[in-house]
Amino acid sequence: MKSRTEIQENTFLKGIIDGIPICIGYITVAFAFGIFAVSSGLTPFETVLISMTNVTSAGQLAAVPIMISGGTFFELAASQFVINLRYALMSVSLSQKLDSSVTLLDRFIIAFVNTDEVFAVASSKKAVGKTYMFGLILTPFLGWSAGTVIGALAGSILPPLVISAFGIAIYGMFIAIVVPPARENKNILFCVIIAVILSCLFRWLPFLSGVQTGFVIIICSVIASVIAALLFPIKEKEAEHEL
Amino acid sequence: MNFNIFLPYLLVAALVTYLIRAVPLVLIKKKIENRFILSFLYYMPYAVLSVMTIPAVFFATNHIVTATAGVAVALILAFFKRDLLTVALGASFAVFVAELIV
């Protein structure tokens, strides 16, 4: 018989608790996004709406310049599709973990906050139920929203020096995600180098520099990933590893 | 930004992002076996983040010099596998100090 004092696995409360570390991390990333979006020219209200409806750091960061520069809806949709394509893979994988308590409607709700980190926690379990998943997505969602509110408001009042310093925060997080695996795995490093070279060509070469940012992200990342996938196809084991 | 211009953009971004997550979770029950697709999806996040970071990060602060200081600190901290928060705040702090000097 299980002890009463221990938190039961696969419950709403356990989900909430497992979501707390994700929530804390999200508050900081969302804070940086809030500052970035407001300093780009969005209102705090618009900034918070983006976070509460998209719930994806890289996608949102790419979306803001496209919106501000008056890019086409196709550019926006296509860039979001490519940047967020990894979630499709995570959703495929997560679908195998959901137990019989999860209904079709629940799947539509869980999908909304199936982020990298939520996926990582859920996939560390054998199987997850409806109430656990609801808890696990609730705390990160609140952290993401709250962090954006604080960042958007701070972005409106903080001095330019501080805004400038925080302007690099979200890129710092991207660097923190990419560098450690690139250091361990030469194939990832190869892919990163190709991507960076292409990205710089699109910034500085005449003609190429006229391509809109959303398309640059798509073209460069697809080419780099295809080359890496063709030259260094992954082994079964690596497929299990996620960001 | 004008809210009436903003709103359609918001809906497009939110809808695309949501469908990417929801469609596979609702429809696909089988595991992807194709090695090329698995490899492509494995490398994609690193490529996306790299493209988004370089060279844009060098223009994310008031001066390219202070941004470079921030990138240098971020690379060093990330190389020694510090967590996301430490790297982000370390880079921000480096930019802050550099801007006071420049």
Complex ipTM = 0.90
Give pLDDT, residue A93: 77
Please tell me whether residues B22 and B61 are part of one structural domain. no
Please tell me whether residues B40 and B85 are part of one structural domain. yes
Give pLDDT, residue A214: 83
Please tell me whether residues B95 and B50 are part of one structural domain. yes
At A236, the pLDDT band (50, 70, 90 cuts) reads: low
Kindly report, residue by residue over B66-86, the tens digit of the pLDDT: 999 999 999 999 999 998 778
10-39 of B, contacting A, C-beta below 8 A? 10, 12-14, 16-18, 20-26, 28-29, 31-32, 35-36, 38-39
| Number of folded domains that form chain B | 2
Please tell me whether residues B52 and B64 are part of one structural domain. yes
Please tell me whether residues B54 and B81 are part of one structural domain. yes
> Within an 8 Å CB–CB cutoff, is residue A59 touching chain B?
yes
Please tell me whether residues B62 and B24 are part of one structural domain. no
Inter-chain residue contact B44 with A29, CB threshold 8 Å: no
Summary mean pLDDT of chain A: 90
Give pLDDT, residue A243: 43
How far is Cα A71 from Cα A25, in angstroms, rounded to an integer?
31
Please tell me whether residues B47 and B1 are part of one structural domain. no
Please tell me whether residues B42 and B88 are part of one structural domain. yes
Query: B40: which 2 tokens?
Result: 């492509």
Kindly report, residue by residue over A122-161, the tens digit of the pLDDT: 877 888 999 999 999 999 999 999 999 999 999 889 898 9
Which among A107, A192, A224 has CB closest to B25?
A: A107
How far is Cα B53 from Cα A182, in angstroms, rounded to an integer?
15
Name chain B contacts of A164, Cβ cutoff 8 Å.
61-62, 66, 95-96, 99
The parent domain of residue B84 ranges over: 32-101
